[in-house]
Amino acid sequence: MKKISDSTIGRLSTYYRTLGELIEQKVQTVSSEKIADLNGITSAQVRKDLSFFGTFGKRGLGYNTVALKDEIGRILGLKQNWNVALAGIGNIGRALIDYGEFKKQGFFIKAIFDNDPQKVNSELKGLKVHHIDDVCEIAKKEKINIVIIAVPVKNAQSVIDQFIDCGIRAFLNFAPTSIKVPGDVMVKNENMSIELEALSYYLTQN
């Protein structure tokens, strides 16, 4: 399939969320203009993004909220549950275990890893903490698809390498460092400092 831009995929996620809110408000039909307004973009952008995947609206009328949310969910692969592992139980890691939003979207934390002997074999939210060296066995047993990296910078690359060796191909990386991976592995970086620094730049300029 033609390569779709990260921006488009990111916006589909926001449309998905917006549609969820509209459905909660019992709204049955929505225009691209309305979706755009709610997200601070143009209606052409919304229609263009959707057009990469098909035609989901009715001219003169708009989109059925439930049907469109369903289609976008299908496009994004949210019609299935994803089994997520968490590597590293510092502050960030612990916060993520309780982050309800993940579960709501079908991402379930099924395994926890750490390399601190004090933490290994303890229990956290009903999940046993495994040693990172047992990655392959547990990842296979729990059918892990995605791994959240919340370990210190100095360990991030080697931990990701270990998971890659066990066949994991998708990572959400919270360690503020850049990671090298083979072409068929995807790492999405979640770097809060970068966003704060963008704010710093903005305040400095304006």
Give the interface with DNA as residue ranges (CB under 7 A).
5-8, 30-33, 41-45, 47-48, 50-51, 55-63
Q: Half-sphere exposure of residue 25, counting CA atoms within 13 Å on the CB side?
A: 10
> How far does the chain reach from its first CA to its final CA, in angstroms?
43
Q: Does 197 bind a copy of itself (CB under 8 A)?
A: yes
Strands (E), the chain: 29-30, 63-64, 82-87, 107-114, 123-124, 127-131, 146-149, 170-173, 186-189
Do residues 89 and 123 touch, judged by C-beta distance below 8 A? Answer: no
Q: Half-sphere exposure of residue 62, counting CA atoms within 13 Å on the CB side?
A: 15
Distance separating alpha carbons of residues 175 and 155, to the nearest angstrom: 9
> Residue 64: in which H helix or E strand, if any?
strand 63-64
Do residues 110 and 85 touch, judged by C-beta distance below 8 A? Answer: yes
Distance separating alpha carbons of residues 164 and 89, to the nearest angstrom: 20
Q: Does 206 bind a copy of itself (CB under 8 A)?
A: yes
Q: Does 167 bind a copy of itself (CB under 8 A)?
A: no
Closest approach, Cβ 84 to DNA, in A, equals: 27
Q: Nearer to DNA by C-beta: 7 or 122? A: 7
Q: Going residue by residue from 113 to 152, which x/- string records binding to a copy of itself, judged by CB under 8 A?
A: --------------------------------xx------
* Range 32-91, binding a copy of itself (CB under 8 A): 38-40, 75-78, 82, 84, 91
- 23: exposed, middle or buried (C-beta count within 10 Å: 0-12, 13-18, 19+)? middle
Q: Nearer to a copy of itself by C-beta: 55 or 203? A: 203
Distance separating alpha carbons of residues 161 and 180, to the nearest angstrom: 9
Closest approach, Cβ 84 to a copy of itself, in A, equals: 8
Closest approach, Cβ 67 to DNA, in A, equals: 11
Q: Does 159 bind a copy of itself (CB under 8 A)?
A: no
Q: Nearer to DNA by C-beta: 11 or 130? A: 11
Residue ranges in contact with a copy of itself by CB under 8 A: 1, 6, 9-10, 12-14, 16-18, 21, 38-40, 75-78, 82, 84, 91-92, 94-96, 98-99, 101-102, 105-107, 145-146, 169-172, 176-178, 180, 184, 186, 188, 190-206
